Structure 1
């Protein structure tokens, strides 16, 4: 993989600084602590690069022995990614005799974003079309390619390299996120992408680089280093106090709908505040009215082997034997082998009802009243 650098206005954080320009400079004062999730993602990308290079017949060194987070699931995900890219390359050959496939290509979009650069996992160029493919190993957040700022920045960087060489008219962007069974693709004309870059990206990036613009809170705050002690975020969430936390029966339907639209962010913000305060307290900070105590803990054996030996000599069986759970079993067997062996024996029960925004892609559940109304020709007697 090419060497990584640091950009104030990185493509990966573009969704945040495009919505909240001052956050770019605000985050500079925070150390980049990294996380296990990021480390796992880095390992997965290294494996994806290796699998794809091998699949394309290119020289590659197997990184497996040096991957801290390697497991069968990661291996399956990387193999699936390589297979997907090969499918796209074969599809490109249908319209172009010699499509170009680039792996881990460094791209520069600094014409619109000061110091803007990044690394595209894969770029495929065929007659009239440029496609950028990005691998996401994350499981928590479902990532869409539609109007995705990171992907658009990568696409602009790719156009900077190849627009003068190839007659590109359409730009395609794909997110490959196997652990969420998500392959999201979005296309835009080259001219429309350039308009977005000139009219939205460039002026907002100038504000962000200068530390200007207005703070704006939203779902993008979840990836902001300043999320725990950002005053703008606090003020936005404390605005819910206008409802004086009345019991739901005293609120109008409009009040409840307004609160629902903000509740997840409020809970997330409160959790971030608590986590930040705890970290500071552990480091020695004193909070008025609060103290640091030991939380609850469970008893555990000092030495499992010794315990087992003692219990066996007493005439008892210290072991339990049970089938691995679905997730653990899939990690043991690998995704493809798991499906081959066990798919006839797997069921997915109906999930617990959850209230989500209408923008959620899952189909709406049918309620008892809705079923009754449908059976009665739309008449309700409730």
Structure 2
């Protein structure tokens, strides 16, 4: 389930943080979790080794890089109220690095133009940029259960242009309750996904198409429907789980439905 995956990811991050702090001679208490198993031990060891390698390379280039673990990164100068936590931030010259551990194996995450990491980089630059002569940013997705270690670099000037030209205008619209919703696979990470009207309309439009007699659809249309069915199933499961939770925990009655034991 989504909650189980989140709990597992939290445990992996806590274990990785502990191991990395110990590797850097910092005090840390080993976390205790039922989710920690042999696989997690091995994969977090590999993550720490990867980070240490990049710290060593940064020291060769800079001499005195600053290494921050689970660092609060504030990018509210770009997105009002925006902040996040960087798993590992290596501040050095000429490259600032953001390394993000993704323990999940469901969705392959790419580093190229990854908005989350680009915003994290903007937060790090805003706080620490004056201390170093940083020319570019390297963001890395470390996703061991998908054998995915993906790094992408962008010049600081280009990153800042993206912030000014694309992010700020959209953030201002969002803050004002304006702008357009854009349903997609990313909806799985949104807390209002089960009740989002835009997502419902998009999926119901697909359902209406799917219920048309197959003979009326071309092969191209059928292929399009087949590609979208997983998204439709996910949305339906989200709504069903949400409704069940409301019924069980809050006594909400949905017309035409009732709870039964079993």
User: What TM-score do you get using the length of structure 1 for normalisation?
Assistant: 0.63
Q: Secondary structure of the residue that 1:139 maps to in structure 2?
A: coil
- Aligned equivalents of 2:5, 2:209: Cα separation in 1: 37
* Aligned twin of 1:150: 116
Is the counterpart of residue 285 in structure 1 residue 252 in structure 2?
Answer: yes
Q: 1:40 to 1:240 in 2, by over 3 A?
A: closer
Q: Secondary structure at the match of 2:192?
A: coil
Give me the whole-angstrom Cα distance separating, in 2, the residues matched to 1:101 and 1:59. 12
Show CA shifts across 1:20-62 (max 9, x none): xxxxxxxxxxxxxx93333332222222122112222x22223
Query: Counterparts of 1:1-382 in structure 2 under 5 Å?
Result: 35-56=3-24, 58-64=25-31, 66-241=32-207, 243=209, 245-283=211-249, 284-295=251-262
The alpha carbon displacement at 1:86 in A equals 0.8
Q: In angstroms, what is the RMSD of aligned CA positions?
A: 2.1
Gaps of 5+ in 1: 1-33, 296-382
1:313-338 CA-partner distances (Å, limit 9, x unpaired) = xxxxxxxxxxxxxxxxxxxxxxxxxx
**Taking structure 2 as the reference length, what is the TM-score of the superposition?**
0.89
| SS of equivalent residue, structure 1 residue 163 | helix
Which one has a larger percent strand, Structure 1 or Structure 2?
Answer: 2
Query: RCO (CA 8 Å, sep 6+): is it higher in 1 or 2?
Result: 1
Partner secondary structure for residue 195 of structure 2:
coil
State the shift of 1:114 in Å.
Answer: 1.0
Give the aligned length: 260
Cα shift at 1:276: 2.1
Gap change, CA 1:50 and 1:277, over 3 Å in 2:
closer
Q: Which has the larger radius of gyration?
A: 1
SS in structure 2 at match of 1:212 = coil
Relative to 1, partners in 2 of residues 1:169 and 1:247: Cα closer, same or farther, differing over 3 Å?
same
Flag the structure with higher helix content.
2
